[in-house]
Structure 1
Amino acid sequence: MAKLFHLERRSFVPSQPPHRLNEEQACSAPLVELADLQRILDEAGPLLKVEQVCEVRAGPHQFPVHAITLGNPSPEVPAVGFFGGVHGLERIGSRVVMAYLRNLVMRLKWDAQLHRQLESLRLVFMPIVNPGGLWAGTRANPKGVDLMRNAPVEASEPVSFLVGGQRLSSALPWYRGGQHAPMELESQALCSVVQNELLNHPFSIAIDCHSGFGMVDRIWFPHAHTIRPIEHLPEMQALSQIFDQAYPHHRYVVEPQSRQYLTHGDLWDHLYLKASAQADTTFLPLTLEMGSWLWIKKNPRQLFSRQGIFNPLAEHRQQRVLRRHMAWLDFITHAASSHARWVPTGPARDEHRQAAFARWY
């Protein structure tokens, strides 16, 4: 089998097994997730292409932010992007993305079907968008800016105080950044990768992995800045329908984020609006919001841990979470590569739109 792409090697941090670091050490040592990512890339060898898209200073450290790609680079094929670690406290998001990347790397050694799939599909990974926040154990980046409130998008309806994004102070949560300041380096890097690797394809999906809302796992789609439905509501209804048919026993709640709360500055709203301005482009940005309250219910002592509010601290629960979402991520790659078979057209699109309004609005 021919080599897919060249791997640019770079040593991130001294190698140390993640399980040897406790929670306090994880916030003060060089970033464990980067060491784990390096091991995956070493295992992959020349099968991946790795690009450093920016570098972030946090305390005494300089952390790289990388985009990893594999599959067909042609802009004619569909593409899927996987993103994690946008909020530093939500380490499980990075780990879910890296678990799926590791799965693909191991399968590339023997899975001929995967190689055939990648001939007609582009995959992009940004497992650690906010390494400074992961290192410091904060939701925001090292400058105190919440990256998911940082885009130049204003909510068209009232938002909840603070939670919807605020410009009062970086000492308060959900800080958006200065009124006329440019987007943060990490936000710009994510937007650049999406623009260059996803929005130049006729069909693409993004999966952004988060945690911390509710007791069930939710799959959110735009909008977050308004209750108005997105233009691609029929496509979202069709995608949800084929997922329900293929996995009838799944426990995800699929819904627009606006059903829960509205925000200013949502990065995915910003990117969706940019994609919608392009002709003949379908871009479906999805957020996997893992319900961390369930982990707290099973272990109330996690409430006393800053990391525990957003992550499964017990090893067996973390392993269960990593297993649980592999089917969803794999489903998305197959749905993207076969989108011509399920994306509705003509009268079917109107039917899906009506079904979506009845379901979500």
Structure 2
Amino acid sequence: MAQPAAATVLLDAHDLPNHRALLRLVEDGQPWIEHRVLGQVRSGQRLLPLHALLLGNPDPACPAVGLFGGVHGLERIGSDVVMSFIDSLVQRLRWDRTLQDLLQGLRLVVMPMVNPGGLLVGSRSNPAGVDLMRNAPVEAGAGVPWLVGGHRLSAHLPWYRGPLKAPMQPESEALCRLVETELLPRPFTITVDCHSGFGLNDRVWFPFAHTARPIEHLPELHALAEVFDRSLPQHPYVMEPQSRQYLTHGDLWDHLYLASRQQPDRIFLPLTLEMGSWLWVKKNPRQMFSRDGIFNPLIQHRQQRVLRRQHTLLDFILRAALSHAQWVPQGAATRARHHEQALARWYRIPRSARP
């Protein structure tokens, strides 16, 4: 007798790291949090929800901040950072008048688990074997490292881009749709996408990843870095274009930044927080024998320290976005000065060689 086909089931909250915490956060966060399910992705016989949380003023004239985590399922700490920061906001909103006032002038858009299938099994890729940060229709030029920069050889290898000319993966499409509808139409937006797994230092990267060419909003990024350095002079972050480290095909944030230029009066500054997980391995060498330990702090007090540090960065980003009119360069001369300083700081282009 033939066996009936296995039924597709919705994910049980106990199965996915952070899922129960997110649902509890939504409940605790009323009336401040708006919860949306952007869609579902299949992992085996399960359908996994793609969650988004929205806080603050929905007026499209307000500036915005976007926070994203869990793009790579191995890098659980990125999702943890986003979740813990939103939880801290919810707790403060019960009593903190200054935070309540801040969110009256700001929209906050959050996607804490972009790749729930990867988080479920501890995989960098999504259930289809695709690296979501190599999945956008952006082609890099020469100098892309083999495999690491994205390839189409096989889904069994890391950094797989997906089939040529295929639509983006549902997780990538959901992220892009959320950004395009909630963030790109606004006059000013900063996003932070939280990752781990590179180097000894925490880095804040900005586009481009597919070319060493400077981004159009280089003056604004330099002004933001200047405000950051002056406001938190002891901060540990290295801020730089990703292209200083390596080039990649298919970067989602390059794709979205290029899309944002269809509205030239808007400022969209996508940042990637790349937490330096090699430092965690250096302090606890046994982690190098665990795939999870290469990308995440495994000792509880170290994880708490990481979360506290990133809360400071994210709080600064909220305040910088709300107050952007105070520091964004105004006028051609001021923008030109910041552009020159940025070229010297990040691109090391001699003045005589500049256009």
Q: TM-score, normalised by structure 2?
A: 0.93
Match of 1:309 in 2: 294
Whether contact under 8 Å (2:11, 2:46) holds in the other structure is no
Matches within 5 A, 1:143-158: 143-158=128-143
Matching of residue 160 in structure 1 with residue 145 in structure 2? yes
What is the distance in 2 between the residues matched to 1:157 and 1:50?
42
Is 1:157–1:225's contact at 8 Å kept on the other side of the alignment?
no
Tell me how large the CA RMSD over aligned residues is. 1.1
Query: One-letter code of the match for 2:157?
Result: L
SS at match of 2:136: coil
Q: What residue number does 2:245 align with?
A: 260
CA distance in 2 between partners of 1:73 and 1:40 (Å): 20
2-structure distance, mates of 1:158, 1:213: 19
Matched, 1:248 2:239: no
2:64 aligns to what? Answer: 79
Contact 2:35–2:52 (CA under 8 A) maintained in structure 1: yes
Alignment partner for residue 222 of structure 2, among 237, 252, 255? 237
Consecutive unaligned residues in structure 1, runs of 5 or more:
1-10, 16-29
Q: 1:126 aligns with which of 99, 111, 115?
A: 111
1:353 is matched with which residue: 316, 339, 350?
A: 339
- CA distance in 1 between counterparts of 2:142 and 2:202 reads 26
CA displacement at 1:13 relative to structure 2: 3.6
- Please list, as runs of the form range in 1=range in 2, the aligned pairs for 1:273-284 lying within 5 A after superposition: 273-284=258-269
- What are the within-5 Å matches in structure 2 for residues 1-361 of structure 1? 13-14=12-13, 30-346=15-331, 347-361=333-347
Which range is displaced more, 176-185 or 56-65?
56-65
Letter in structure 1 aligned against 2:67 = F
Deviation at 1:63, TM superposition (A): 1.3
Shift of 1:300: 1.0
Instruction: Give the 3-state SS of the residue equivalent to 2:293 in structure 1.
Output: coil
Report if aligned partners of 2:72, 2:124 keep a CA contact under 8 Å in 1.
yes
SS in structure 1 opposite 2:30? helix
Q: Which runs of 5+ in 2 are unaligned?
A: 1-9, 348-355
Corresponding residue for 2:353?
none
**TM-fit CA distance, 1:14:** 4.2
Compute the displacement of 1:311 (Å). 0.3
CA deviation vs aligned residue, 1:242-268 (integer Å, no higher than 9, x gap): 000000000100000000000000000
What one-letter code is carried by the residue in structure 2 that aligns with 1:204? Answer: T
Distance 1:297 1:279 in 2: 45
Letter in 2 for 1:312: P
Aligned residue pair count:
337
Separation in 2, partners of 1:107, 1:141? 34
- The Cα shift of 1:32 comes to 2.2
Work out the percentage of aligned pairs sharing the same amino acid: 62
CA distance in 2, matches of 1:340, 1:202: 11
SS class of match (1:254): strand
- Tell me if structure 2 keeps the 8 A contact 1:12–1:35: no
Report the alpha carbon displacement of residue 147 of structure 1 after superposing the two structures with TM: 0.1
